[in-house]
Amino acid sequence: MKRAPLLVLAGTVAGFVGVLTFHTRPVSATTPGTSDAQPAATPSASATAPAPVPTAAVTPAPTHPAAGSEAVRSALGTSVNFSYGVLDVRVTVRGTHITAVTVPDMQTAEPTSQQISDQAIPMLRAEVLSSQSANVNGISGATFTSQAYVQSLQAALDKLNVT
């Protein structure tokens, strides 16, 4: 009975030392669908702040669309930082119908985050195409990725004036 407080104290100290000595790996740029990490594009970029991703302008609609056809437009959403990396979403619409949703750039902090995102993004894409809006359910186990995806998607839809 007298040893219990000593064991609790030793466990607490060991846990505290473990937390203080824990080091995370720097953020590395990866391409969705690949498992090999690639070095960041700019060597001067810090490990905690990935290099800014340029956003593309909205593809303009033709001034005189052909009779019976609707203009196909696309826009790139803002790059969104989430707890495990950065991503942006490109959406393509015909009229007000969402025809394609892609993630042209995603950077993750670690391979596990990459695997989670690789599984969640196709599910999110299917949800968006089914609901035809950014009002979709998040993916369990990929909450931060889901929130970043929806935020960037909504920014792209706002650029296209699609509700």
* 40 burial level (CB within 10 Å; 0-12, 13-18, 19+): middle
List the structure tokens of 111.
């391979």
List the structure tokens of 123.
């599910």
Domain 28-41+50-60+69-159 class in CATH? alpha beta
pTM: predicted TM-score of the whole model, two decimal places: 0.59
Q: Where are the domains of the chain?
A: 28-41+50-60+69-159
User: Phi/psi of residue 22, each to 5°?
Assistant: -70, 130
> pLDDT tens, position by position, for the chain (163 residues)?
577 777 788 888 887 777 777 665 554 444 444 444 444 444 333 344 444 444 444 545 444 444 445 789 999 999 999 989 999 999 999 988 999 999 998 999 899 999 999 999 999 999 999 999 999 999 999 999 999 999 999 999 999 988 7
List the structure tokens of 85.
């990396």
Residue 61 per-residue DSSP state: P
> Residues near 98 by Cβ (< 8 Å), separated by ≥ 6?
91, 92, 128, 129, 132, 133, 157, 162
